[in-house]
Amino acid sequence: MELYNKLINREEKLAVVGLGYVGMPIAVAFAEKIDVIGFDTNKQKVKEYQRGFDPTNEVGNEVINQTSVEFTSDESKLQESKFFIVAVPTPVNIDKTPNLSLIEGVSETIGRNLREGSIVVFESTVYPGVTEDICIPILEKESGLVCGKDFKVGYSPERINPGDKVHRLENITKIVSGIDQESLNEIAKVYELVVNVGVYKASSIKVAEAAKVVENSQRDINIAFMNELAMVFDRMGIDTQDVIEAMNTKWNALKFYPGLVGGHCIGVDPYYFIYEAEKLGYHSQIILSGRKINDGMGDFIADAAIKKLINANKVVKKAKVVILGLTFKENCPDTRNSKVGDIIKRLNEYGVEPVVVDPYADSIDAKSEYGVDLMPLDMVKDADCLIFAVAHDLFKDLNITQVDNLFGSFPNEEKIIIDVKGILDKNQLRQQSYSYWSL
Is 135 designated active site? no
Q: What is the pLDDT of residues 334-344, one digit of tens each?
A: 898 899 999 99
Same-domain check for residues 333 and 286: no
Same-domain check for residues 336 and 381: yes
If one counts the domains in the chain, the total is 3
Same-domain check for residues 132 and 227: no
Same-domain check for residues 70 and 189: yes
Single out the residue in 142, 167, 202 at which a domain terminates: 202
Reply yes or no on whether the pLDDT at 286 is more than 80. yes
Reply yes or no on whether the pLDDT at 193 is more than 90. yes
Mean pLDDT over each residue of the chain, to the nearest integer:
94
Same-domain check for residues 255 and 338: no
Same-domain check for residues 186 and 235: no
Least confident of 129-143, 153-167, 387-401: 153-167
In this structure, the number of other CB atoms found within 10 A of the CB of residue 262 comes to: 25
pLDDT reported for residue 231: 96
260: domain CATH number is: 1.10.1040.10
pLDDT reported for residue 160: 73
| pLDDT-derived band at 264, boundaries 50, 70, 90 | confident
- Give backbone dihedrals phi and psi of 322, rounded to 5 degrees, phi first: -115, 120
Same-domain check for residues 285 and 326: no
Same-domain check for residues 432 and 367: yes
Query: Shortest CA distance to 212 belongs to which of 285, 278, 264?
Result: 264
Q: Which of 147, 265, 332, 385 is catalytic?
A: 265
What is the C-alpha separation between 64 and 58, in angstroms, rounded? 10
> Which amino acid, 249?
T
Same-domain check for residues 351 and 270: no
379: domain CATH number is: 3.40.50.720
| pLDDT-derived band at 266, boundaries 50, 70, 90 | confident
Same-domain check for residues 165 and 311: no
Same-domain check for residues 66 and 175: yes
The secondary structure of residue 170, as a DSSP letter, is: G
Single out the residue in 138, 169, 202 at which a domain terminates: 202
Single out the residue in 267, 295, 323 at which a domain terminates: 295
Reply yes or no on whether the pLDDT at 175 is more than 80. yes
Q: Helices (DSSP H) in 169-204: which residue ranges?
A: 181-191
Which run of H or E residues covers position 213? helix 205-236
Q: In which domain, by residue range, is 185 found?
A: 2-202
pLDDT reported for residue 234: 95
pLDDT reported for residue 166: 62
The dihedral of CA 322, 328, 329, 332: what is its sign? negative
Same-domain check for residues 315 and 439: yes
Could you tell me the strand order of the sheet in which 385-388 lies? Answer: 355-357, 321-324, 385-388, 416-419, 435-438
Q: What is the pLDDT of residues 298-354, one digit of tens each?
A: 999 999 999 999 999 999 999 999 999 999 989 988 898 899 999 999 999 999 999
Reply yes or no on whether the pLDDT at 154 is more than 70. yes
With contact defined as beta carbons under 8 Å apart, do 188 and 255 qualify? no
